[in-house]
Structure formats: structure tokens, C-alpha cells
Amino acid sequence: GAGVSQSPSNKVTEKGKDVELRCDPISGHTALYWYRQSLGQGLEFLIYFQGNSAPDKSGLPSDRFSAERTGGSVSTLTIQRTQQEDSAVYLCASSSGEGLDTQYFGPGTRLTVL
Amino acid sequence: GQNIDQPTEMTATEGAIVQINCTYQTSGFNGLFWYQQHAGEAPTFLSYNVLDGLEEKGRFSSFLSRSKGYSYLLLKELQMKDSASYLCAVRWSNYQLIWGAGTKLIIKP
């Protein structure tokens, strides 16, 4: 079956522009996570969606970051007025929300802010 | 605070055995995960430990000691394709994981 997909795979933008990153989770997975991965650092939790519950936004680094999940499936992470420190790989993961609840990751979006 | 430590880089020889250690201090514990991540690719699940002891899965084994806040990943009969980063992560709440920075494993022929 299809895994987690993300688009675009690479995004180069100018400082101050807005960007949207998309994640398509595994069909049937109720839980969805966004992480940021910077060189030499562990995955940084950004936001968590579970079914129809209110998302856990506690990891979003500033109010320039927001995310939505429509219809319990596709999610979009939006970064407004991008800064150079936003440059990183943004990873999306989904899980079944039950049992072992292993997270399955997409290939990521590499964001470069010039 | 919450913290996970693992070595930044390790080197091993093809055919040999390597042990990658992970120590953690977290506010809660609901299991420890190991993931493998090849350069430029997504992390992929390797193993999960929630009880003390050794879990074996083919060439890979993972050990956990909750009282010591310690885990290791043991890779046997190393192959060149095992060159990757190995990520240790602890689930400290019902759903949140805290991740180590990863150990880059270099395999030499």
C-alpha cells in the first residue's frame, strides 16, 4: 500500500515569503505528526493531530507556523514570513493511533530560505 | 528537563558487530523506539522496547533497562547497506516522542 507522501520534496524561497508544505498520510491512520529536522539535532516535534480532537500545537516555534488537517486526512503546514532559521527538513509521520502506534514517515520537504 | 543522548558517530567494519548506546531522562516512559535513517531519506522503524530485556529481530537486537534509563541497538554481521543514522526516541506521553540527535554509523570494508 501507499506510504506517507509529502510535497514538494524541495522548496527554495526568499526570506519573507510564505510557504505551504503538504502531507498525505497512510490511508486509515488517524494520527498525524509534523517534525522539523535540522542538521545535528533530533527531530523537533511541531504539531500532532488525532482524529477529530483539537490538535496539540505545543511544538510550533512561533505564530508564523500553522497547520491544518482537512477531513482527517491531508495536512498542510504553513510558514508565514519565512526566516533563514526556518531552513530545515520538515517531516510528516502518521500512525494508527492504537496499539504499538508506530510512526511511519514521509520522505520530507527540504526547505531552504535564502 | 527531558534529554536523550547517543554518540554522534561510530565506525565499524563490514561483517563485525556494533553496539549503539542511548541514555535518556524523561518525565514519563511509554516505550523506546529505534529508527534507521539513510541520508536524504525518511526514518524507518527498527524496534520497540517497553519492558526490560533484549528484543531480537534478525541481525538487529535492542536492549532496554528502564531503571538505568539506558538502551542499546546491536547490529550483527554488518553490511555496507547498514551505513545510516540510527535514531533513539522515547515516548514520554500517550503520543509524544522525544528524539535523540542520531548516531551516524559508518561501515568500512
pLDDT digits (tens, 9 = 90+) for B36-61: 999 989 999 999 999 999 999 999 99
Residues of chain A with pLDDT > 90, as a percent, come to: 85
pLDDT confidence band for A97 (50 / 70 / 90): confident
Closest to B101 (Cβ–Cβ): which among A4, A42, A100? A42
- Closest-CA distance, A51 to chain B, in angstroms, reads 13
Closest to A43 (Cβ–Cβ): which among B41, B48, B99? B99
Could you tell me which residues are beta bridge partners of residue A8?
Answer: none
A64/A59 Cα distance (integer angstroms): 12
Q: Name residues whose C-beta falls within 8 Å of residue A99's C-beta, 6 or more positions apart in sequence.
A: none
Residues 30-89 of B with CB under 8 A from A: 33, 41-45, 48, 87, 89
Structure letter (DSSP) for residue A52: T
Closest to B4 (Cβ–Cβ): which among A31, A42, A45? A42
Give the chain A residue nearest B46 (alpha carbons).
A102
Strand ranges for B1-109 from DSSP E: 3-5, 9-13, 18-25, 32-37, 44-49, 53-57, 60-65, 70-75, 84-91, 97-99, 103-108
Backbone angles phi, psi at A13, to 5 degrees: -140, 165
Higher pLDDT, A13 or A42: A13
Instruction: Report pLDDT digits (tens) over B2-14.
Output: 899 999 999 999 9
- Closest-CA distance, B64 to chain A, in angstroms, reads 16
Task: Give me the amino acid identity at A69.
Answer: R
pLDDT confidence band for A42 (50 / 70 / 90): confident
- Closest-CA distance, A6 to chain B, in angstroms, reads 11
pLDDT confidence of residue B37: 96
Give the chain B residue nearest A110 (alpha carbons).
B40
pLDDT confidence of residue A1: 56
Strand ranges for A60-102 from DSSP E: 65-69, 75-79, 88-95
Strand, helix or coil at B81? helix
Residues on chain B touching A105 (C-beta within 8 angstroms): 42-44
Averaged over A49-69, what is the pLDDT?
94
- Closest-CA distance, A109 to chain B, in angstroms, reads 10
Residues on chain A touching B97 (C-beta within 8 angstroms): 43, 45, 103
Averaged over B81-105, what is the pLDDT?
95
Strand ranges for chain A from DSSP E: 5-7, 10-13, 19-24, 31-37, 44-50, 65-69, 75-79, 88-95, 104-105, 109-113
Q: Name residues whose C-beta falls within 8 Å of residue B40's C-beta, 6 or more positions apart in sequence.
A: none
Closest Cα partner for A114 from A36, A20, A37, A17? A17
The CA angle B8-B34-A51, to the nearest 5 degrees, is 125
